[in-house]
């Protein structure tokens, strides 16, 4: 469903963005991104993200300055993207950038001062990044179709970087410990990588 825009703002709803912080208890906020007003009011779709019609580029959404210092930035261009960000603890940073059609990203961070950056370009790509601990950094970059990247890090000062170009690639990284580092770079189609660090 597309929520009506406030008066004076064109009623053009596109992809779904979920941004949540937990200063005391879980508070999940559902936002609908507004696009540039390129279509006439009669051309605006009224159904959910699967029925978006001819709308154009998305304006960036920024949600920053939670009581505990979290920052989340979401940039999307294209159609039918989903971005979900949940942050609990102190001073996390999360940034997502998606272009194309039907990409999705989920970020969850717990602890203190973790950083997550996800960039996707193409169609049907999926990224999941979860970090628990302190001063962890996860970066995922994907270009192509139907690629999947996942990072799960538990501990402190861990670093994970995944870069994938092509179609149907899969990369899964799991880290359990302190000061771990991993870099995964895949080019081509249907590549598979799974790494567990302890």
- Give residue 43's region: left, alpha or beta (phi > 0; psi -120 to 50): alpha
Q: Helix, strand, or coil here: 50?
A: helix
Higher pLDDT, 190 or 11: 190
Q: Quick check: is 6 in a domain? A: no
Q: Quick check: is 158 in a domain? A: yes
Q: Quick check: is 1 in a domain? A: no
CB 117 within 8 A of CB 95: yes
List the domain range (segments joined by +) for residue 31.
13-197
Q: Quick check: is 57 in a domain? A: yes
Q: Is the pLDDT of residue 117 over 50?
A: yes
Q: How many domains, in total, are found in the chain?
A: 1
Q: Is the pLDDT of residue 128 over 80?
A: yes
CA-CA distance, 25 to 102, in Å (whole number)?
Answer: 31
CB 77 within 8 A of CB 58: yes
Q: Quick check: is 3 in a domain? A: no
Q: Are strands 71-79 and 61-64 parallel, antiparallel or unpaired?
A: antiparallel
CB 6 within 8 A of CB 32: no
Q: Quick check: is 4 in a domain? A: no
pLDDT tens-digit readout, 149-184 = 999 999 999 999 999 999 999 999 999 999 999 999
Q: Quick check: is 7 in a domain? A: no
Strand-pair partners of 16: 32, 82
Q: Quick check: is 81 in a domain? A: yes
pLDDT tens-digit readout, 15-71 = 445 555 443 222 232 333 322 222 333 332 222 233 223 233 344 444 444 667 888
Non-local (6+) Cβ contacts of 153 within 8 A are 130, 131, 132, 133, 136, 138, 160, 173, 174, 175, 180
């Amino acid at each position: 469903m597309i929520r009506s825009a406030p008066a004076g703002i064109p009623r053009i709803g596109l992809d779904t963005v979920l941004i949540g912080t937990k200063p005391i208890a879980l508070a999940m906020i559902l936002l609908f991104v507004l696009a540039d007003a390129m279509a006439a009011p009669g051309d605006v779709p009224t159904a959910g993200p699967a029925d978006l019609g001819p709308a154009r580029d998305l304006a960036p959404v920024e949600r920053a300055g939670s009581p505990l210092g979290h920052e989340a930035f979401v940039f999307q261009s294209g159609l039918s993207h989903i971005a979900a960000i949940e942050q609990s603890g102190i001073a996390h940073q999360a940034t997502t950038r998606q272009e194309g059609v039907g990409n999705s990203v989920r970020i969850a961070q717990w602890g203190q001062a973790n950083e997550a950056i996800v960039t996707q370009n193409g169609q049907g790509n999926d990224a999941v990044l979860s970090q628990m601990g302190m001063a962890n950094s996860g970066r995922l970059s994907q270009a192509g179709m139907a690629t999947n990247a996942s990072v799960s890090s538990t501990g402190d000062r861990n670093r994970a970087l995944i870069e994938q170009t092509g179609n149907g690639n899969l990369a899964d990284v799991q880290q359990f410990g302190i000061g771990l580092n991993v870099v995964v770079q895949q080019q081509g189609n249907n590549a598979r990588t799974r790494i567990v660090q302890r």
